[in-house]
Structure 1
Amino acid sequence: MSRVNASDPVPPPEPAAMRRHYRAEGITPDALAADPMTQFARWFHDAARAEEQGALYEPNAMVVATADAEGRPSTRTVLLKAYDDRGFVFFTNYESRKARDLTAQPYVSLLFPWHPMARQVIVTGSALRTGRDETAAYFRTRPHGSQLGAWASPQSTVIGSRAELDTAYAELERRYPEGEQVPVPPHWGGFRVVPQSVEFWQGRENRLHDRLRYVREPGSDGWRLERLAP
């Protein structure tokens, strides 16, 4: 029989053996709002309250999936900064990979992974750039350091070292000290994702999850609600 030394690394668990049993309570069509943005506001409120209680981290974090002109996909986590009847808004460098993807191919998917609540929201739609006034209004609300960071980082491009990034930031910090207004970068702004479908996913026992999806009716502002098999 082989011996295991205390210093030997512990092997990670097998993914197939990792299971969590979800809640018994589900969601029903008659309990949902008439439109997806109202329903999203309800669930987002629940997620924000869970964050206040220490049960969830950054409920506005969402996975943004895009594809380039050749159809090659990419994903990243971005922070939702606003939502209303028009859609979901986030901000980025317009020269970043996701922005280049959305310029070539505006179709996008968003995923809000609220795992501690056994909930997810999946959005599909098209991305449109926000106006410069809306971008500037949001930029003024960012912390001073984040405003400088928008200038310092050539997002998604290869850089030589961390020192290169820190040097660029330090130079900007000297040029625009705390209290001095930082101009909005011309290469930086927002995208509004106009939803075509919004799915609300609630984990259930035995992997028989509830999946209720709003789909925009063609040629109207109305929505159709449908249930998907898990």
Structure 2
Amino acid sequence: MDKELHIEDIRTDYRLAALSEDQIDKDPIRQFEQWFEQALHSKVIEVNAMTLATVDADGSPSARIVLLKDIENDAFVFYTNYNSQKAKEIAANPKVSLVFFWPDLQRQVRIKGTIEKVASTNSETYFHSRPAGSQLGAWASPQSDVIPNRDFLEQNLKEVSEKYKDQIVPKPPHWGGYKVIPFTMEFWQGRTNRLHDRILYSKDVISGNWITSRLAP
């Protein structure tokens, strides 16, 4: 009989790769793009999934998974409902964090930055590139609000589907994009014995240049 597995017994020894100062790009955005391409070619599931952490007006943090949709002018772009919980927290505090975790490559990227809305034209263009069902869903769901049941959503979807039948679905005024402009980016490569490689890029507020340093694991 197999020994019962306990949570504290779950562990992985990371041995796939290393990360050194002479390997990295001087620009963290270019370094991220290199890692992203490698994750993409490695067929990492949901390679563009990232944890977005926000803080509300009372200082309470919250986090959820969103999807990276673009890197625009060195900023990380995603789209959402501007009436959602995350949007309200962003309005209260425009400093956020992002985390990418690609376990197949034993890598993690942590980003801290400020956040702002993308241009409305960008939101319009991206909205109309989405599948029709996703466009209708943006109208049907009052994101983060308490709703009575699943039927409420299904009924909303039915109504908007009828309303915009055989028409171009307009972008809801409460839906659009945000971009996260980083001021720190940390690249983490798992190593054996938990002696991981951590390279931190910090943006100098005066010169605008990126400064790199190594962090203890």
Query: Deviation string for 1:85-106 (max 9, x for gaps)?
Result: 4310001000101000000100
For the 8 Å contact 1:63–1:77, the answer to whether it is kept is yes
- Distance in 2, Cα, partners of 1:117 & 1:216: 26
- 1:101 to 2:89 alignment: yes
- Distance in 1, Cα, partners of 2:157 & 2:164: 10
For the 8 Å contact 2:55–2:62, the answer to whether it is kept is yes
For the 8 Å contact 1:37–1:85, the answer to whether it is kept is no
- After the TM superposition, which residues 178-217 of structure 1 pair with which residues of structure 2 at under 5 Å, given as runs? 180-217=167-204
Provide the residue aligned with 1:158 in structure 2: 146
The structural deviation recorded for 1:217 is: 0.8
- Distance in 1, Cα, partners of 2:68 & 2:124: 16
Q: Of 89, 94, 104, which residue of structure 1 is paired with 2:77?
A: 89
For the 8 Å contact 1:135–1:190, the answer to whether it is kept is yes
Provide the residue aligned with 1:115 in structure 2: 103
For the 8 Å contact 2:16–2:105, the answer to whether it is kept is no
The structural deviation recorded for 1:108 is: 0.3
Structure 1 counterpart of 2:215, one-letter code: L
Alignment root-mean-square deviation, CA: 1.6
Q: Of 9, 15, 24, which residue of structure 2 is paired with 1:17?
A: 9
For structure 2, which runs of at least 5 residues remain unmatched after alignment? none
The structural deviation recorded for 1:214 is: 0.7
- After the TM superposition, which residues 37-186 of structure 1 pair with which residues of structure 2 at under 5 Å, given as runs? 37-51=29-43, 56-177=44-165, 180-186=167-173
Query: Deviation string for 1:199-219 (max 9, x for gaps)?
Result: 110000000000001100112
Report the TM-score, using the length of structure 2 for normalisation: 0.96
Provide the residue aligned with 1:222 in structure 2: 209
Extract structure 1 runs of 4+ deviating beyond 6 A.
Answer: none
- Distance in 1, Cα, partners of 2:124 & 2:185: 28
The structural deviation recorded for 1:13 is: 3.0
- Distance in 2, Cα, partners of 1:220 & 1:62: 29
The structural deviation recorded for 1:131 is: 1.3
For the 8 Å contact 1:24–1:205, the answer to whether it is kept is no
- Distance in 2, Cα, partners of 1:36 & 1:86: 9
- Distance in 2, Cα, partners of 1:15 & 1:196: 36
The structural deviation recorded for 1:221 is: 2.6
The structural deviation recorded for 1:24 is: 5.1
Q: Of 31, 35, 41, which residue of structure 1 is paired with 2:23?
A: 31
Larger Rg: 1
- Distance in 2, Cα, partners of 1:131 & 1:85: 12
Provide the residue aligned with 1:7 in structure 2: none
For structure 1, which runs of at least 5 residues remain unmatched after alignment? 5-9
